[in-house]
């Protein structure tokens, strides 16, 4: 079992108005095999947490720690974090002109494992994963995400998850912009990886609809850069019924 441990994390960014604190003391422990859902209103710090774990340079860690099996994640470069077993499914996947899907996937897999995958086995694995995610085979020769729809980009994120097999997946609003059919396909892809290898998942979402397909073990409510409440799947059901009003200051409700 592997453990991703976040302790008293304080994170800020520089704005035109000066330094702004986003995360205000977040503590969270995720083990492989567990699914943790993070829910909360816009601007509560959910995506900041995801970006900080992944190593986005915009965010400054003022104090606190992130460790993976006791190793200091904050001292790792972005590629070292990936090789250590961290994977970020981005909310807004970027286009990479001039790089085909085939070249990108095999190059990334080689970098992660330290050796190139055997071509015959790899080709079979890629075709099978694309078929299960209902990604047209022609997409293998297209440039990464170039001209892809929002749903197609999200399926490609899960394609990477299936092929790279990380220890932990941080899924930053992967459900945003998906219709019901695409949501089911994406969720099924995640669940295949989870069931096959004991993936640990940090699932960031506004809504409970993805939680109908990816069942969380724990739910954490983010408000104003902190975890305001924690519970099991029943907490997500309560949020669906009540919203986030009870967590917000009276002035914010007015």
User: What integer best gives the mean pLDDT of the chain?
Assistant: 91
pLDDT band at 254 (very low <50, low <70, confident <90, very high): very low
Q: What is the pLDDT of residues 116-132, one digit of tens each?
A: 999 889 999 999 999 99
Report the DSSP beta bridge partners of residue 37. Answer: 203, 219
Asked whether the predicted pLDDT for residue 74 surpasses 80, the reply is yes
Percent over 90 (pLDDT), the chain: 75
How, if at all, do strands 168-172 and 86-89 pair? parallel
Provide the token pair at 246. Answer: 């009870």
Residue 187 structure tokens: 């969720």
CA distance 253 to 196: 44
Structure confidence by residue, pLDDT tens digits, 90-111:
888 889 999 999 999 999 999 9
Q: Is the pLDDT of residue 5 over 50?
A: yes
Residue 252 reports pLDDT greater than 60: no
208 Cβ contact partners less than 8 Å away, ≥ 6 residues apart? 39, 236, 237, 239, 240
Q: How confident is the model at residue 249 (pLDDT cuts 50, 70, 90)?
A: low
250 pLDDT band, cuts 50/70/90, is low
């Amino acid at each position: 079992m592997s453990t991703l441990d976040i302790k008293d994390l304080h994170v800020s960014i520089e704005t035109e108005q000066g330094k702004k604190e986003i995360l205000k003391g977040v503590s969270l422990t995720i083990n492989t095999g567990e699914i943790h859902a993070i829910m909360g209103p816009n601007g509560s710090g959910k995506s900041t947490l995801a970006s900080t774990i992944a190593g986005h340079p915009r965010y400054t860690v003022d104090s606190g720690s992130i460790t993976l099996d006791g190793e200091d994640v904050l001292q790792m470069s972005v590629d070292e974090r990936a090789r250590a077993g961290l994977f970020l499914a981005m909310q807004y996947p970027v286009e990479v002109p001039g790089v085909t899907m085939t070249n990108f996937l095999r190059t990334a897999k080689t970098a992660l494992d330290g050796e190139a995958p055997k071509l015959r086995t790899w080709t079979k694995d890629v075709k099978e994963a694309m078929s299960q995610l209902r990604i047209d085979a022609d997409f293998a020769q297209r440039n990464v995400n170039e001209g892809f729809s929002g749903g197609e980009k999200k399926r490609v994120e899960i394609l990477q998850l299936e092929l790279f097999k990380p220890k932990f997946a941080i899924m930053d609003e992967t459900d945003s912009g998906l219709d019901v059919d695409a949501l089911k396909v994406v969720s099924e892809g995640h669940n295949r990886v989870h069931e096959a290898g004991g993936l640990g998942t940090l699932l960031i979402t506004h809504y409970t609809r993805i939680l109908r397909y990816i069942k969380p073990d724990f739910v954490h409510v983010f408000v104003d850069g902190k975890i305001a409440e924690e519970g099991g799947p029943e907490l997500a059901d309560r949020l669906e019924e009540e919203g986030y009003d009870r967590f917000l200051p009276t002035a914010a409700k007015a």
